[in-house]
Amino acid sequence: NYSSSILIHNEKDKLLGGLLASGFDEVSCISRLQSHTFRKVSPHKPSQYLISKLRDYEELHGKCGPDTRAYKRNLKHLQSKKYIGAAMCKYIVWDPSNGLGNQMISIVSAFLYAILTHRVLLVRFGTDLNDLFCEPFLNSTWVLPKNTPFWNERRVETYQTMLKKDKANSNPKEALPSTLFLNLQHTLDDPEKLFHCDHSQDLLRNIPLLILQSDQYFVPSLFMNPSFNLEINKMFPEKDTIFHHLARYLFHPSNEAWGLISRFYQTYLAEADERIGLQIRVFSPNTTPMQAIMDLVLNCTISNKLLPELDTKNSVSYSPNKTLKAVLVASLYPEYGESLMAMYLDRPSISGELIGVYQPSHEEKQKFHDNMHNMKAWTEMYLLSLSDVLVTTSLSTFGYVAQGLGGLKPWLLYKLISNDTHFPACERDFSFEPCNHIPPKHYCNGKAIKDYASSFPILRECIDYSNGVKLV
Ligand code: GDP
C-alpha cells in the first residue's frame, strides 16, 4: 500500500541506495540515518557489484578486525615474524600525514586498495582525529588499538629497501618481511614508486601487514594495473563516482560533529532558496594580498552569475525578486566572510536577490595535533558539500572532499600566490573526483608516460594542476 511504499523508499534513501549496511545502532551515529534529509538524493547509484564487495569487506573486517580472536592470534604471529600463510588475515594500517583533506582522500584510496587486495583497513588515529567520524563497519572498529606493538613502528623494513633487495635477489619472496612500511609520499629523491605494477603487487601480496603512509588520492594509479582495473570497472561503472560513493560510505560525522553541522545548517542555510559554498584557501598568505584574492573571488562568482552584481545607483532594490541566497564561506581568515557580508548589506543587488553570508570559523592558520581544529575543518567540508553550487580553490584537498561528498563539479578558483590577477578567475571542473597530484610518471617497463589520456582513456589532466590526473 501507499504508506508502506513511502517507508520502503525512505529506508532505501537512508541507506543511500544500499551503499550502507543496515543494522547500525541509530543513536550512536545520528548522522548516518539523518544526513539524507539534508541532501538531495544522489543521482549516482552504487552498483550491485560494489554493494556486494562492501558486504564482503564488512564480513572480513568482522572476522579479522580488532577485538576478534583472529586479530589477537595474527598479532602474535606478526610479533614473532612468523608467516602462517593463507590462513592469516592481512592488514593495511593507514598512517596519517598532512592536513585533514589529504588524510581523507588517502583513507579512501587505502580502503579501495584494501577491498581489492582482501586486506583489513585499520586507521592510526591520534587524539587529533578522535571522535570526528562514526565507526564505518558494523559491530567492529577500524581504529588501530593504541596498545598494538605497531602503533609507533618505524623500525620495520621499508618498501623502498624491499624493491632494492628484490633487484639483487633471485628469489625475493623468501626474504620478504612480515611487516612493511609503505611510504607513498612524494619525495624528490625517490622519483618512482612502481606501486601499481604487477611485480610490486606480487611481492606485497605476501606481506601480512602493510603500514601505508600517503597524503594522496592514489586511486587513478590503481587503474594502471590491469587486474585492479578490471575489478574497479565492475565496481564503478561510472568512474567519476569512486570517491563520492566510498567517502559517503566511510565518513559519517560523529554525533559531536553532526551537532555542529546540523545546527549551523538549520540556522543559516536550510531556509535559503539556494546555497553557495565558497572555499577560500590561501596557500601563500605572506605574498598574496587579501584584496587580490577577493577580486578573484568576485570575478569568478559574478561573471559566472553565481552571485549578483551590486546596484550602485539605488540604495533600495525595486525588483520583486526576493530570492534568498546563502553563501557559506570556509576560510582560515575572517576577512573574506566579513567583506562579502558587508558588501551585500551595504548595497542592494541588481537582481534584488538577498545574499546572506556565513562563515563558521576563522582559525588563522593550519594547526596540527589539535582535535577541535580538525572538528571545525570536518564540519566545514561537510557543510560545503551540502551546497547547490560550489566554488573551491585549485589544488586544495579540503575542497576535493567537499566536492566528492556532495557530488558537485566545483568552480575552481585559480591559485594565486602573488599580488596578481588571472583570467579566467575560475574554471568549472569536469568531474567531482579528487585530483591525484603525483601520478606515476613511468609505465611498469620503465618508459616515461608522455600522455596519460591516450594510454589510459579514463584519465585526464586535472584542470587545477596539469601534472596531476583524475578519473572521468
Ligand atoms: P589542503 O592543504 O587545502 O589540500 O587541505 P588539507 O585539509 O589537507 O589541509 C589544510 C588544513 O588547514 C585543514 O585540514 C584545516 O586544518 C586547515 N584549514 C584550511 N582551510 C580551512 C578552512 O577553510 N576552514 C577550517 N576550519 N580549516 C581550514
Task: Give the amino acid at 45.
Answer: K
Q: Kindly report, residue by residue over 64-90, the tens digit of the pLDDT.
A: 999 899 999 888 888 776 656 666 899
Least confident of 5-19, 242-256, 391-405: 5-19
Contact 467, 436 (CB under 8 A): no
For residue 419, give the nearest of 288, 300, 315 by alpha carbon.
288
**Residue 395: CA atoms inside 13 Å, Cβ hemisphere, count?**
14
Contact 219, 109 (CB under 8 A): yes
Q: Kindly report, residue by residue over 297-326, the tens digit of the pLDDT.
A: 999 999 999 999 999 999 998 888 889 999
Residue from 359, 366, 417 to probe ligand 1 pocket by mutation (most atoms less than 8 Å from CB) = 366
CB-based burial label for 294 (10 Å; 0-12, 13-18, 19+)? middle
For residue 31, give the nearest of 340, 298, 254 by alpha carbon.
254
Residue from 378, 380, 398 to probe ligand 1 pocket by mutation (most atoms less than 8 Å from CB) = 398
> Higher pLDDT residue, 166 or 460?
460
Residue 170 predicted with pLDDT over 70: no
Output b/e per residue, 45-57; b: 16+ Cβ within 10 A: bbbeebbebbeeb
Q: What is the pLDDT of residue 12?
A: 62
371 lines ligand 1 (CB under 6 A): no
For residue 173, what pLDDT band results from cuts at 50, 70 and 90? low
Residue 197 predicted with pLDDT over 70: yes
Q: How far is the CA of 101 from the centre of ligand 1 (A)?
A: 7
Residue 4 predicted with pLDDT over 50: no
Distance CA 435, CA 217 (A): 7
Q: What is the pLDDT of residue 169?
A: 72
CA–CA distance from 77 to each of 83, 93, 120, 208, 412 (Å)? Answer: 7, 17, 16, 10, 49
β strands within 287-353, DSSP E: 324-331
Closest residue to atom 2 of ligand 1, CA basis: 396
392 lines ligand 1 (CB under 6 A): no
Provide the residue ranges of all domains of the chain, joining segments of one domain with +.
9-250, 258-471
398 lines ligand 1 (CB under 6 A): yes
Closest residue to atom 12 of ligand 1, CA basis: 366
100 lines ligand 1 (CB under 6 A): yes
CATH of domain 258-471: 3.40.50.11350
Q: How far is the CA of 200 from the centre of ligand 1 (A)?
A: 33
Q: How far is the CA of 137 from the centre of ligand 1 (A)?
A: 27
| Ligand 1 nearest-atom number relative to CA 376 | 26
Q: Is the ipTM here above 0.90?
A: yes
pTM of the model: 0.95
Closest residue to atom 10 of ligand 1, CA basis: 99
Determine how β-strand 411-413 pairs with β-strand 426-428: antiparallel
Q: What is the pLDDT of residue 398?
A: 98
Q: What is the pLDDT of residue 155?
A: 76
Closest residue to atom 11 of ligand 1, CA basis: 99
Contact 116, 201 (CB under 8 A): no
Q: Kindly report, residue by residue over 103-132, the tens digit of the pLDDT.
A: 999 999 999 999 999 999 999 999 999 999
